[in-house]
Amino acid sequence: MPGKGSGEIDTQAQAGLLRRLEDGLFRPVDASSLAVFRIGFGLIMLVECWRFWEHGWIARYYIDPELYFTYYGFQWVAPWPGDGMYWHFGLLAVLSLMIMVGLFYRAAIIVFFFAFTYVFLLDQARYLNHFVLVSMIAFLMMLVPASRIWSLDALIARRLRAKPSEVPAWTVWLFVMQFEIMYVFAGIVKVNPDWLRLEPLAMWLARRADAPLVGQLFLEDWVIAIGAYGVILLHIVGAPLLLFKRTRLPVAVVYFVFHLANHLIFRIGIFPWVAMLGTLMFFDPDWPRRLAGRLQRALGRLASSERRVADV
Give the pLDDT confidence of 226-258 residue by residue, as tens digits: 999 999 999 999 999 999 999 999 999 999 999
Domain ranges of the chain: 27-288
Checking 66-72 for CB contacts under 8 A at 24+ apart, the result is 68/122, 68/123, 68/125, 69/123, 69/124, 69/125, 70/121, 70/122, 70/123, 70/124, 71/121, 71/124
168, with CB counted inside 10 A (0-12, 13-18, 19+), is middle
17 has a pLDDT exceeding 70: no
Q: Positive or negative CA dihedral for 248, 250, 251, 253? A: positive
What are the backbone dihedrals phi and psi of residue 79, each rounded to the nearest 5 degrees, phi first?
A: -65, 155
CA 202 to chain CA centroid, Å, is 28
Of the pLDDT bands very low, low, confident and very high (cuts 50, 70, 90), residue 103 is very high
312 has a pLDDT exceeding 70: no
CA dihedral 184, 96, 157, 141 (to 10 degrees): -20
Give the pLDDT confidence of 132-179 residue by residue, as tens digits: 999 999 999 999 999 999 999 999 887 656 567 899 999 999 999 999
pTM of this prediction? 0.90
Rounded to whole angstroms, the Cα distance separating 86 from 57 reads: 10
Give the pLDDT confidence of 280-310 residue by residue, as tens digits: 999 999 999 999 989 888 887 877 776 666 6
Give the pLDDT confidence of 55-78 residue by residue, as tens digits: 999 999 999 998 889 899 999 999
Crossing angle of the two packed helices 129-141 and 32-54, in degrees rounded to 10: 140
Distances (CA, A) of 292 to 32, 59, 227: 11, 43, 35
5 has a pLDDT exceeding 80: no
Q: Would you report the helix, strand and coil content of the chain in percent, each value rounded to 5?
A: 70, 0, 25
22, with CB counted inside 10 A (0-12, 13-18, 19+), is exposed
Greater confidence (22 vs 217) lies with: 217
What are the backbone dihedrals phi and psi of residue 154, each rounded to the nearest 5 degrees, phi first?
A: -65, -35
For residue 202, the model assigns a pLDDT of 95
